[in-house]
């Protein structure tokens, strides 16, 4: 959205309102002028919250991720154009520009749906996924420390496996990553396992059983992990943040998905020139309420190997 706005209105200033954990990702984009930390705003009293927002002299407030308290704050800050959707009652009370935007059963990608909130500006918003993937503007990548840079083998394809998702997505399973590792040639690939320190506890066996694999779990800050992804060649994961970061950084990003709505790849696939996604073309219903989803776990590791070998 920021990229499309800058493309059409080069002189506009864009501020991203988000939680603390999003700041280092937002900072990658040349299209965003500043970050407003909502975690800090929440600590303020109502009057101070309003004063804090007013100081940005904003003309437009786009409610991309709807939250009642934020919609109320934007309204009380008297921002001229407050853009939301008709599907939320509180937007009827707080927004003066509203769109019919139904996400749950849509065939559009999440990025395409978000762009529809810009329709009031009379610009082209019906972009293809190929057009959207050029709008990240991620050119402010942190410098990778030499201790991590030295782990990257310039003679091999450096691949990060990110098996866990912290509950944000259906997972492919450690067993499948184990099979994937066994099928990747040590002569061609250098393999890293990424994730949080908590992830590392459940992945300990995966690393111990594969002495050629380098364990990164819990060892990198988010900024360092971003820089490490940028230094490598590819990443394999379920529908997680690192997958989307890898795609945005123009790396081979292979996403593993369950076929059910609304978490299917049509809605959430990573967008990038080298991004791919795998899923079973079937009805995923019997495991809909179970995080242990056999519909994603039945994806054959050989399909991942074939994609990587073609990269």
Paired with 85 in beta bridges are 99
Measured distance CA(181)–CA(108) in Å, rounded: 34
Tens digit of each residue's pLDDT (9 = 90 or more) over 199-246? 999 898 898 999 999 999 999 999 999 999 999 999 999 999 999 999
Residue 281 has pLDDT above 80, yes or no: no
Q: Note the pLDDT of residue 170.
A: 86
Q: Note the pLDDT of residue 106.
A: 83
Choose among 103, 79, 95: nearest CA to 264: 103
Q: Where are the domains of the chain?
A: 2-132, 148-309
Q: Note the pLDDT of residue 32.
A: 98
2-132 shares its CATH topology with 148-309: yes
Helix (H, G, I), strand (E, B), or coil: what is residue 98? strand
| CATH number, span 2-132 | 3.40.50
Q: Note the pLDDT of residue 55.
A: 97
CATH class of the domain whose range is 148-309 = alpha beta
Residue 57 has pLDDT above 80, yes or no: yes
Burial class (CB in 10 A: 0-12, 13-18, 19+), 266: middle
Q: Report the pLDDT averaged over residues 273-294.
A: 77
Q: Note the pLDDT of residue 292.
A: 66
If you count them, how many residues does the chain have? 311
Q: Note the pLDDT of residue 285.
A: 65
Band of pLDDT at residue 291, cut at 50, 70 and 90: low
Of the listed ranges 234-248, 274-288, 290-304, the one predicted with least confidence: 274-288
């Amino acid at each position: 959205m920021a990229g499309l706005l800058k493309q059409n209105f080069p002189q506009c200033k864009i501020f991203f309102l988000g939680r603390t954990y999003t700041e280092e990702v937002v900072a990658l984009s040349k299209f965003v002028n500043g970050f407003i930390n909502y975690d800090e705003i929440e600590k303020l009293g109502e009057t101070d919250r309003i004063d804090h927002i007013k100081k940005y002299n904003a003309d437009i407030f786009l409610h991309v991720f709807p939250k009642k308290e934020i919609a109320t704050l934007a309204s009380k800050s008297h921002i001229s154009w407050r853009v939301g959707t008709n599907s939320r009652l509180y937007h009827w009370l707080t927004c003066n520009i509203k769109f019919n935007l139904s996400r749950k059963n849509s065939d559009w990608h999440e990025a395409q749906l978000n762009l529809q909130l810009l329709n009031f500006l009379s610009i082209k918003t019906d972009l293809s996924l190929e057009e959207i993937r050029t709008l990240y503007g991620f050119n402010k990548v942190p410098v990778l420390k030499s201790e991590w840079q030295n782990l990257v083998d310039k003679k091999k394809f450096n691949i990060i496996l990110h098996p866990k998702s912290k509950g944000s997505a259906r997972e492919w399973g450690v067993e499948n990553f184990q099979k994937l590792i066994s099928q990747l040639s040590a002569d061609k690939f250098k393999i890293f396992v990424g994730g949080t320190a908590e992830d590392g506890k459940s992945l300990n066996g995966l690393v111990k059983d594969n002495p050629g694999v380098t364990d990164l779990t819990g060892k990198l800050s988010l900024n360092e992990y971003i820089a490490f992804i940028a230094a490598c060649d590819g990443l394999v994961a379920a529908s997680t943040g690192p997958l989307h970061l890898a795609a945005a950084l123009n790396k081979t990003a292979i996403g593993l998905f369950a076929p059910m709505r609304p978490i299917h790849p049509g809605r959430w696939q990573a967008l990038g020139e080298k991004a791919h996604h795998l899923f079973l073309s079937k009805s995923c219903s019997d495991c809909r309420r179970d995080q242990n989803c056999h519909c994603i776990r039945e994806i054959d590791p050989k399909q991942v190997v074939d994609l990587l070998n073609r990269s």
